[in-house]
Amino acid sequence: MGILSDPNRRQALSRVITRLNAPLCIISYLIGLGWFLGLAFQPFTLRSYISENSMGSTMVDEKFIYGERALSYAREFAAHRKSAGGSPVAWLERTMRGIGLEVYTQSFVRNLPFPDESTERYMVKGTNVYGILRAPRAASTESLVLSVPCSEGQNNNQAVGLLLSLASYFRGQIYWAKDIIFLVNEHDLIGMEAWLEGYHDVNVTDIKSSVMMGRAGAIQAAMSLEISSDVITSFDVVVEGLNGQLPNLDMVNLFLAFCQKNQLLCTIQGKLQRNDFDTFPGYLHNLHTMLLMVLKQGSGRPQGDHGLFLRYHIEAITLRGINSFRQYKYDMVTIGETIEGMFRKLNNLSERLHQSYFFYLLPSLSRFVSIGIYMPAIGFIILILILRALDLWIKLSRPETANEDGVAESEPEGRPGFLSLATPIVICHATGLSLYYLPVLSQEMATDHFPVSESEAVVLIAIAIYVAGLALPHNTHRVLTGVGSDQGWMTLKLISLLYLAVQLGCIAVINFSLGFILAITIVPVAAVVQPVGPK
């Protein structure tokens, strides 16, 4: 505070910020990038551990003896699926009722904004089938979900067989304190979203579905299975959800604990875990794994059906069977024991998972990077915007400049008016809103009057809006005072830099990967760019 209150010291600080602004920005960028690259190094990571006491070291003996039954169910499902040309709804209903579950179906319809590229269809129709195993030792107030996506083709047959065999095995146990829902959803994410909206009685995606006739308790956790082989060599855990949401870290730690207990090979991002964290090859392996997670999380697209559960505050992961490491082979018995053990742990939950981390990066399954460690990386990048804004503010606050003879003279250019600053900002926001709404809304009109397809119409309309938005701000200097002056563009850039800093900070809190990808690409351009010439 003494530096800021003393005029001499404040002037000295201003001179330092002005003269060393470019070196400070470069150093800040390099520190932020180096900090991010160092996150995969062992001193920056923490060892994973289960925080929830109810999922701690309880003495349970996992058993699963229906391995052959799982394969038999898978073969029957594949045969009925081939004959039906889709999900064999009638066979699933009959089989689940034979096991002893309460069986219900849900039909849904979704109109696509674009035709599907593979089948050229505008409408998706499907039916979800789910069975409820009521808890014999508690009221139906809480539940768990085991889901299997039923997509086109012959994929995931073994996952359906394992789901049915697990339902048969769970039916004979008496220790369940939560209802268990066994769900086979059609058309992957569309079917899962239809089921979740119907279960929670909401409609956020305009999916038309039938009324749900059966419900269990509030869903505490969920797992999605994807297995397309009778024998798998490893299990890959998928955590990235919608808009970069991640499940509670205890879900991942629970998966790792049971894989280690049953000696099941587990991977993340399709990569095996290394133990030589302190070596350079181990660091590169962890860095590659973390970069893959950043790219997937930054895309905002759910990497599995579990990603839609996170929207409803339900902790969920996707377990994907891989058949690529030929030196390891595991049958359905080992896989069933692992999943049965995880469900028994989740059955012990007395409250929702909340004690562990929700914001993290995973360079490996056994180690993680918490939010307090990775946020300084983007903080140093955003600091560049603050330094450039300070430099502009110092230049704008100087009331007079010196000429070549050293004589002080006043700034001849007038200060920019409110309209000269507000107009470009309003135009930018209007362009963004137009890019968000108009392409999809006007695609039908474009296809009626021009010989283009729906996807081509959207691209062309987006390009037209973007070009118009770029052209408009350059023409404002003709009618608005102060736009073409140095003070005009400096003031506008000062506001824009602070606005961008706030936006990147907010994005980084919600989705660090997206915020960091935007920051390392946008910030250097935003810091350097300035108008050339009178405009």
Distance, in Å, from the CA atom of 180 to the CA atom of 330, rounded to the nearest integer, reads 25
Helices (H) and strands (E) in the chain, counts: 17, 15
Residue 486: partners with Cβ closer than 8 Å, 6 or more residues away: 413
Distance, in Å, from the CA atom of 215 to the CA atom of 127, rounded to the nearest integer, reads 16
Question: What are 441's two structure tokens?
Answer: 């809304």
Helix, strand or coil, per DSSP, at residue 531: coil
Q: Over the chain (535 residues), what is each successive 10-residue block's mean pLDDT?
A: 58 75 90 93 85 68 81 89 85 91 91 62 83 85 91 81 92 88 90 91 86 88 88 87 91 89 86 79 90 92 91 92 74 87 88 86 90 92 92 76 48 62 80 81 73 76 78 60 67 88 93 94 89 61
Distance, in Å, from the CA atom of 147 to the CA atom of 160, rounded to the nearest integer, reads 9
Distance, in Å, from the CA atom of 38 to the CA atom of 41, rounded to the nearest integer, reads 5
Residue 392 near residue 490 (C-beta atoms within 8 A): yes
Residue 176 near residue 144 (C-beta atoms within 8 A): no
pLDDT given at position 150: 86
What b/e sequence results for 347-370 when a residue is b if at least 16 CB atoms lie within 10 Å of its CB, and e otherwise?
bbbeebbeebbebbbbbbbbbbbe
Residue 133 near residue 179 (C-beta atoms within 8 A): yes
CB atoms within 10 A of CB 140: 14
In single-letter form, the type of residue at position 531 comes to: P
Distance, in Å, from the CA atom of 152 to the CA atom of 328, rounded to the nearest integer, reads 29
pLDDT given at position 443: 72
Distance, in Å, from the CA atom of 522 to the CA atom of 474, rounded to the nearest integer, reads 21
Q: Which residues pair with 267 in a beta bridge?
A: 236, 272
In single-letter form, the type of residue at position 335 comes to: I
Three-class SS of 383-435: HHHHHHHHHHHHHHHCCEEECCCCCEEECCCCCCCHHHHHHHHHHHHHHHHHH
CB atoms within 10 A of CB 417: 14
Helix, strand or coil, per DSSP, at residue 272: strand
Residue 77 near residue 161 (C-beta atoms within 8 A): yes
pLDDT given at position 402: 44
Residue 395 near residue 422 (C-beta atoms within 8 A): no
Distance, in Å, from the CA atom of 243 to the CA atom of 507, rounded to the nearest integer, reads 11
In single-letter form, the type of residue at position 426 comes to: V
Taking the model in full, what pTM does it have?
A: 0.85
What b/e sequence results for 27-58 when a residue is b if at least 16 CB atoms lie within 10 Å of its CB, and e otherwise?
ebbebbbebbeebbbbebbeebebbbeebeee
pLDDT given at position 237: 92
pLDDT given at position 446: 74
pLDDT given at position 249: 92
pLDDT given at position 441: 76
Helix, strand or coil, per DSSP, at residue 184: strand
In single-letter form, the type of residue at position 355 comes to: Q
Distance, in Å, from the CA atom of 517 to the CA atom of 418, rounded to the nearest integer, reads 33
Distance, in Å, from the CA atom of 201 to the CA atom of 206, rounded to the nearest integer, reads 13
Q: How many CA atoms lie within 13 A of 131 on its CB side?
A: 26
Distance, in Å, from the CA atom of 273 to the CA atom of 266, rounded to the nearest integer, reads 8
Closest among 339, 307, 305 to 183, alpha carbons compared: 305
Round the CA-based radius of gyration of the chain to a whole number and report it: 29
pLDDT given at position 408: 47
pLDDT given at position 412: 47
The set of long-range contacts for 59-64, using a CB threshold of 8 Å and a minimum separation of 24, is: 60/341, 60/344, 60/345, 62/258, 62/262, 62/337, 62/338, 62/340, 62/341, 62/344, 63/337, 63/340, 64/166, 64/169, 64/333, 64/336, 64/337, 64/340
Closest among 170, 195, 194 to 101, alpha carbons compared: 170
Please name each of the domains of the chain with its CATH number: 2-39+374-401+412-528 (no CATH), 53-365 (3.40.630.10)
Residue 400 near residue 409 (C-beta atoms within 8 A): yes
Residue 335 near residue 321 (C-beta atoms within 8 A): yes
Q: Which residues pair with 110 in a beta bridge?
A: 124
pLDDT given at position 120: 53
